[in-house]
Amino acid sequence: MARPSSAQLTEAEQRIMTVLWTRGEASVREITDALHAEFGLAYTTVLTTIGIMADKGYVGFRKSGRAHIYSALLTRDGARNQALGSMVRTLFGGSAQSLAQHLVRAEKLTLQDIEDLRAAVLEETGADREADENPDGEAK
């Protein structure tokens, strides 16, 4: 039976997913080799963690001889959405607007950053298309 997915990846899961997103697929040995020098993760730790990740549906695998070759089922954007959704619910009472206001105030955004955010909001909401279609601002 599959484990219920947690709200976001753990730190160890994030590290493993980064290897898989970068390489496309890898064995436990290859993942361990990629992470050992920087993080000191042991083969058994990676093996246990990736088994849990498979149970959660984050990774899939195929057999190659005796080895399992793992690949990401959860996309980088999917992981970001999970983490961000959890943060919005936990720290901002479910309000994405509160998160956005906090980022604008706390992160020392440049004018270009703010313009880029504005453009993204307009594009997402379609407001820029409405303004182009009705430049006088009159109701349709």
pLDDT one-digit tens code per residue, 61-87: 999 999 999 999 999 999 999 999 999
User: How far apart are the C-alpha atoms of 107 and 105, rounded to whole Å?
Assistant: 6
DSSP string, 32-66: HHHHHHHH---HHHHHHHHHHHHHHTSEEEEEETT
pLDDT one-digit tens code per residue, 81-125: 999 999 999 999 999 889 988 988 888 888 999 899 889 989 988
Architecture of domain 1-91: Orthogonal Bundle (1.10)
SS3 78: helix
Domain spans of the chain?
Answer: 1-91, 94-133
Q: Is the pLDDT of residue 59 over 90?
A: yes
CB-CB contact of 102 with 84 (8 Å): no
Identity at 27, one-letter amino acid code: S
Q: Which of 62, 76, 70 is nearest to 21 (CA)?
A: 76
